[in-house]
Structure 1
Amino acid sequence: MTFKELNIIEPILQALTEKGYSTPTPIQEQAILPAIDHQDILGLAQTGTGKTAAFSIPIIQHLHLDSLQKEGEEKIAKRAIRALILTPTRELAIQIGESLKDYTRYTDLQYTVIFGGVKQGSQVNRLKAGVDILVATPGRLLDLMHQGHIKINKVQHFVLDEADRMLDMGFIHDIKRLLPRLPKNRQTLFFSATMPRSIASLSRSILKNPIRIEVTPASSVVDTIEQEVYFVEQNDKKDLLVKLLHEGDMKSVLVFSRTKHGANKIVKAITKAGITSEPIHGNKSQNARQRALENFKAHKTRVLVATDIAARGIDIENLELVVNYDLPNIPETYVHRIGRTGRAGNVGKALTFCAASERIFLKDIEKLTKNKLSIVKN
């Protein structure tokens, strides 16, 4: 199947062609047509499966066609927010904004991205100029709503992205405060990598007869990712990581630490060995996190050391290697971590350093994924 077969209008098709998109991913193939048909969507998908395009393309198509029909009317000149995309982190919001920039290129639609941790002035000015699509993190959205800068009473399309991460980060109460302010007559597109009970309950409360799409279960891992495990004592992990980095020619390596303090210690050891590295975690300011991410994308920094909360919005094309320096105690987290590599059909590699005290975590991961990691000896 091609994008042309999904009833996508020409301005969007042209933008997709220029981006090199030809064949839709499974979630795009299954979600775009129902979403164009105004149906609610419940999408279960790992990161890296192409869900941003799956929800963005139908929304852009609806809004563009609606604008053409009402062209010349005064209410179109005064743009109202007609689509709201809610996402948990600044990094994810920026990533979605970059996609919207590409997909809306040949339409007259306006969008903006708002998030906390920075001064609000430029964001407020952009909102005053008028936008059709708003990408927001929950805290900054509610803050600007309370100040009177944002009204969501005209929203026709509402996207809740990375719902399980919203729960992990404590945003569930913000979402529940936000929902009554949205019009009841709207389309809702709900996406989550996992479906714990609280998220399932939330989805039932806001979706109307949704189409359920589950392209890759949360317990699955991408087939193109080579997975290996090193059994190594905790105190030897730094030396092993430095050795592998010196021996390998990987340009981009993402290392996962269980704690913020641990991430800083790893960066210190790597930097001492002459390898460019930066940490990204919750103790870093938004600007510092974004700077580190941009340096990593531009290959100015070879190694990015991240905690799980900070890493959800990291989307790097052709990321070569993910290293689980510390094993996560929640097996689903392992799936999210290694899903940073092997994206969009590319080959990827994931290495896991397992100390004796972490064997039980490895056992849980292998039970969930139904996959035995290849053991690297010597």
Structure 2
Amino acid sequence: MLPIIMRLKVPSKAGIRALVLSPTRELALQITKEFKKLAYGRKFRIRLLTKALAKCVDLKDLPCDILVSTPLRLHYLIRESKIDLSCVEYFVLDESDKLFEMGFIQQIDSVVNACGNPSIVRSLFSATLPDYVEELARTIMHDAVRIIIGEKNSASQTVKQQLVFVGSEEGKLLAIRQFLEEGLQPPVLVFVQSKDRARELHKELAFDGIHVDSSHADRTQAQRESAVEKFREGKTWVLITTDVMCRGMDFKGVNCVINYDFPQTTSTYIHRIGRSGRAGRPGKAVTFYTESDVPFLRPIANVMKASGINVPSWMLSLPKRIRKHPLGRDPIEKKGVQF
């Protein structure tokens, strides 16, 4: 953000000069707020492409220096010829590997084509970038330079990582209740694999009188934004969410991340636990696994070992298996064990 603001120097009426794409609305909102903080007093017009803004008749004359958006909303405006991106000097794809993985290729291509400035600078950022995604990303880059901070595709060494065997789905609820009862040090972020499970776990923990909230696709945008803000303000101690929150979201001082449901990929694991241990602060990540998750332990165990965590040798010697589809799990409500 800082190099963009410094190079734009002063506001201009020439049109949109910097464009940032992110995979989720929550992250787009966070980016917009951070841009405004850094540009305070510079009078730059920084806008988030919201649903209300997208409904404007024509955005070609929109007074805007920096625009932040998700791909689908921007793609629609380009297709309807309602926005002009020909003056864009800086084009950033944040969480770029997720953008390419989520089926946004067509939308990204339309944005790239719409940004017709011959001297445009394109940048891709992510904590993980698989080789096949990097090859795909290079198709929209020219003379690309790759910069790696730390080890490629590795977890933060400021996070103390732990694997906890819980036996079965029923054991998870007992384990998280025991964990929160014995050592609750909020804020705590809990990841589950689906919106249904987020809703169910929210209900279970709310029954225990914990200051808990959840953010998932079944909640309205206003509810999701409210859940995030209350978590930031400390009003919510435990926030339950799906992987929508594992990408780029910056919560100050998250003490612990709990992977209630075992992550499907190593990149998901890295991004999830990366919500803790930020900006040099120590953090903790606890990952539950059941009998059904054991065959898929090896990749996560390798990431932990690379971060300096001691893991059992039997985990590292497991056959390498990749989970192509999320594991079917029993509903939390039906299997819940009340104290």
Measured against aligned partners, the alpha-carbon deviations of 1:343-369 in whole angstroms (never above 9, x if no partner) come to 010010111112122122222211244
Instruction: Give unmatched runs, 5+ long, in structure 2.
Output: 313-339
Residue in structure 1 matched with residue 251 of structure 2 by the alignment: 316
Q: Does the CA-based 8 Å contact 1:227-1:374 persist in structure 2?
A: no
- The answer to whether 1:194 aligns with 2:128 is yes
2:98 to 162, 165, 168: 165
**C-alpha displacement of 1:169:** 2.6
Residue in structure 2 matched with residue 62 of structure 1 by the alignment: 7
Task: Please state whether the residue corresponding to 2:147 is helix, strand or coil.
Answer: strand
How is 1:72-221 mapped onto 2 (pairs within 5 angstroms)? 76=12, 78-115=13-50, 118-120=51-53, 130-183=63-116, 184-221=118-155
- The answer to whether 1:367 aligns with 2:312 is no
Q: Which has the higher helix share?
A: 1
Measured against aligned partners, the alpha-carbon deviations of 1:106-163 in whole angstroms (never above 9, x if no partner) come to 3232111114xx4336877998550111111111112233444421011111111111
Distance 2:22 2:206 in 1: 33
Distance 1:121 1:259 in 2: 29
Task: Please state whether the residue corresponding to 1:328 is helix, strand or coil.
Answer: coil
**C-alpha displacement of 1:203:** 2.5
| TM, length-normalised to structure 1 | 0.75
Q: Does the CA-based 8 Å contact 1:318-1:343 persist in structure 2?
A: yes
Distance 1:202 1:262 in 2: 33
2:207 to 272, 279, 288: 272
Q: Does the CA-based 8 Å contact 2:78-2:111 persist in structure 1?
A: no
Measured against aligned partners, the alpha-carbon deviations of 1:82-105 in whole angstroms (never above 9, x if no partner) come to 111111111111111111111111
Q: How many residues align?
A: 308
Task: Please state whether the residue corresponding to 1:212 is helix, strand or coil.
Answer: coil
The sequence identity of aligned pairs, in percent, is 36
Measured against aligned partners, the alpha-carbon deviations of 1:9-37 in whole angstroms (never above 9, x if no partner) come to xxxxxxxxxxxxxxxxxxxxxxxxxxxxx
Task: Please state whether the residue corresponding to 2:162 is helix, strand or coil.
Answer: strand
Root mean square deviation, CA, Å? 2.3
Residue in structure 2 matched with residue 35 of structure 1 by the alignment: none
Change (3 A) 1:180 1:113: same
Q: Does the CA-based 8 Å contact 1:256-1:308 persist in structure 2?
A: yes
Change (3 A) 1:329 1:147: closer
Q: Does the CA-based 8 Å contact 1:218-1:332 persist in structure 2?
A: no
Q: Does the CA-based 8 Å contact 1:258-1:326 persist in structure 2?
A: yes
- The answer to whether 1:305 aligns with 2:250 is no
Q: Relative contact order (C-alpha < 8 Å, sep 6+): which is higher?
A: 1
Q: Does the CA-based 8 Å contact 1:327-1:362 persist in structure 2?
A: no
Residue in structure 2 matched with residue 355 of structure 1 by the alignment: 290
Is 94-103 or 168-177 further displaced after alignment? 168-177
- The answer to whether 1:225 aligns with 2:225 is no
**C-alpha displacement of 1:334:** 1.1
